[in-house]
Amino acid sequence: MGYTFTHKHREQEEVYIVMEGKGQLLIDGELHDLCRGDIFRVAPEARRAVKADDDESLFVICAGAVPGDYPKEENARYLIDDGVPFFDDVPPWYEGDPEVIAKNKKLRERVEKSKAKKAKKNQS
Domain boundaries, given as residue ranges, for the chain: 6-123
Q: Report the CATH architecture of 6-123.
A: Sandwich (2.60)
* C-alpha distances out from residue 89 to 12, 94, 107, Å: 20, 10, 13
Tell me which residue of 29, 81, 33 sits closest to 56, measured CA to CA. 33
Tens digit of each residue's pLDDT (9 = 90 or more) over 19-63? 999 999 999 999 999 999 999 999 999 999 999 999 999 999 999
pLDDT above 70 for 124: no
Model pTM score: 0.85
Average pLDDT, stretch 2-7?
A: 95
Tens digit of each residue's pLDDT (9 = 90 or more) over 65-75? 776 777 777 77
What pLDDT score does 70 carry? 73
